[in-house]
Structure 1
């Protein structure tokens, strides 16, 4: 089978296609023939930052072709989606059953990788903020795979005012079309009137202005792999708080809650309330171009590899 390998040898990072054997599923694993693979910012960052080669994981969707020992609830022929922590940029990939969920009839693998993982992150981050109807929400990286869903979910949860923070003003029409009432760029000195909730997917130097954007008693949910530091005094003034959110922890420790979020996403998708956007589909061998689209912050919605 074909697989994309990452190699760092002192020069430019390289993603290249190689031929390897089809993996064998272990206990609790599914072997999936991939139909679509979602490219995530954390993986792109790891490729740039890792000292040694790493497996390229991410969301995937496709057909189960083999099941490992002890697997229940899944069978050969099922179409599933989930987050792969191993080699996911491949014709076949291994998926842990704890991270796998069915793709409903009538939905494509492309729909699934654009909706489920990114949607769970967006929905989980929003839930972590404990929003109340009528509160205002600001979303950073609002045009990203997660951010564009967070805008829509905030509206469905009753947000009265939604602010989209983006790096490029050219993305304004896209995020307004998904429900943003206002659009701000990261370089602006002020992000407008304070908000009750900030969902931050960027981190780093944006943490300070994100905290400043909070109204008294406001909550910032951090779900970025970008790091950053928050000064305690900035939280003390105004009684603000920062909450960390990680999808994998919920999937492993609260599987019923995770499954409930996935079910809600598919329900909203079926109703037409939630519209996942795909920025572009790249061939497997063009994985480097897909990474460049995310690194250059050019994507509007999800970036997908199609084997």
Structure 2
């Protein structure tokens, strides 16, 4: 039977297990996909503890981990057009990506370009798409200065690259150990820590034109003082406090069109998802711990053996 990595109840890592599950069947508007790679994100372990986005229903357990997948279409559901068996695709699964087979709704599934690997494609539906949506939301003219917090993580590295491709100047806040990474992407690095605001002011004495926060909490609070126009303060990490600061959450489009756009950026050499670590499905727990610790450079992906 196909394998999947699940949490059997809400709680900590002790609830995780690699299990056998029935091969799912696609419903109307869905694709059955044989997974080749699945991206790992901070939200994965949060969902295990019971986190859910506003409007979401609690997931029935056991629940499969993972929110982004790339693979090959095995079956198409009723009413599906534009996709066929054998197509290479990527997108956001119906119910978990850490598995040998997943269901992808066509509304958030795109064709994988031939020159983009499955591993890179699996890093796009959450991290890179979130980065793309936020940069589009800010709508800054070329030459503007954007501050990115958490610039060395999975979302942050994509924000930096997409912003640079739009002609923006970028200041990236990240740990000292990620200085070389941030600078290699074309951003000015400022070390993270309690006094990072002073570091930013040393580079941009008059503040910045916009802030794209990926961290939330005290980092978002501190970064907010650096931008005069709070409508240009957005966050993918501090949605609970950003309204009080005068900013807003990243407005996610969650469409196949956005996935097409980010894949094209990768194919054109303008965006590298920077997958720095890969794990087999059998070691999905290690992959989750790596991301859960919060010090990942770039993106972590699970590769599923054919």
TM-score (norm 2): 0.87
- 2:148 aligns with one of 126, 139, 142: 139
Q: Deviations over 1:26-69 (max 9, x none)?
A: 11110000000001111222223459844423110000001111
Question: In the aligned structure 1, how far is the partner of 2:263 from the partner of 2:13?
Answer: 40
- 2:225 aligns with one of 206, 209, 212: 212
Q: Give the drift of 1:3.
A: 0.6
Aligned position for 2:128:
119
Q: Is the 8 A contact 2:113 2:267 kept in 1?
A: no
- 2:177 aligns with one of 170, 179, 196: 170
Q: Which has the higher contact order (CA 8 A, sep 6+)?
A: 2
Aligned position for 1:183:
190
Relative to structure 2, which stretch is displaced further, 59-68 or 262-271?
A: 262-271
- 1:300 aligns with one of 283, 297, 300: 297
Aligned position for 2:101:
92
Q: Give the drift of 1:264.
A: 3.3
Distance change (3 Å), C-alpha of 1:204 and 1:85 = farther
Q: Please, which runs of 5 or more residues in structure 2 have no aligned partner? A: 52-57
Q: Is the 8 A contact 1:139 1:147 kept in 2?
A: yes
Question: In the aligned structure 2, how far is the partner of 1:117 from the partner of 1:94?
Answer: 16
Give 1:1-307 correspondences, 5 Å limit. 1-8=2-9, 13-50=14-51, 53=61, 54-159=63-168, 161-166=169-174, 168-188=175-195, 190=197, 191-192=200-201, 193=204, 194-216=207-229, 219-224=232-237, 226-230=238-242, 232=244, 241-247=246-252, 250-251=253-254, 255=255, 259=257, 261-307=258-304
Q: Give the drift of 1:109.
A: 0.8
Q: Deviations over 1:115-139 (max 9, x none)?
A: 3442221111011111111110111
Distance change (3 Å), C-alpha of 1:24 and 1:188 = same
Count of aligned residue pairs for this structure pair: 289
Question: In the aligned structure 2, how far is the partner of 1:4 from the partner of 1:12?
Answer: 12
Q: Is the 8 A contact 1:176 1:183 kept in 2?
A: no
Q: Is the 8 A contact 2:99 2:281 kept in 1?
A: yes
Q: Is the 8 A contact 1:28 1:69 kept in 2?
A: yes
Q: Is the 8 A contact 1:281 1:305 kept in 2?
A: yes
Q: Give the drift of 1:220.
A: 0.9
Q: Is the 8 A contact 1:143 1:175 kept in 2?
A: yes
Two-structure CA RMSD over aligned residues (Å): 2.2
Question: In the aligned structure 2, how far is the partner of 1:38 from the partner of 1:165?
Answer: 23
Q: Is the 8 A contact 2:111 2:260 kept in 1?
A: no
TM-score (norm 1): 0.86
Distance change (3 Å), C-alpha of 1:56 and 1:12 = closer
Distance change (3 Å), C-alpha of 1:139 and 1:114 = same
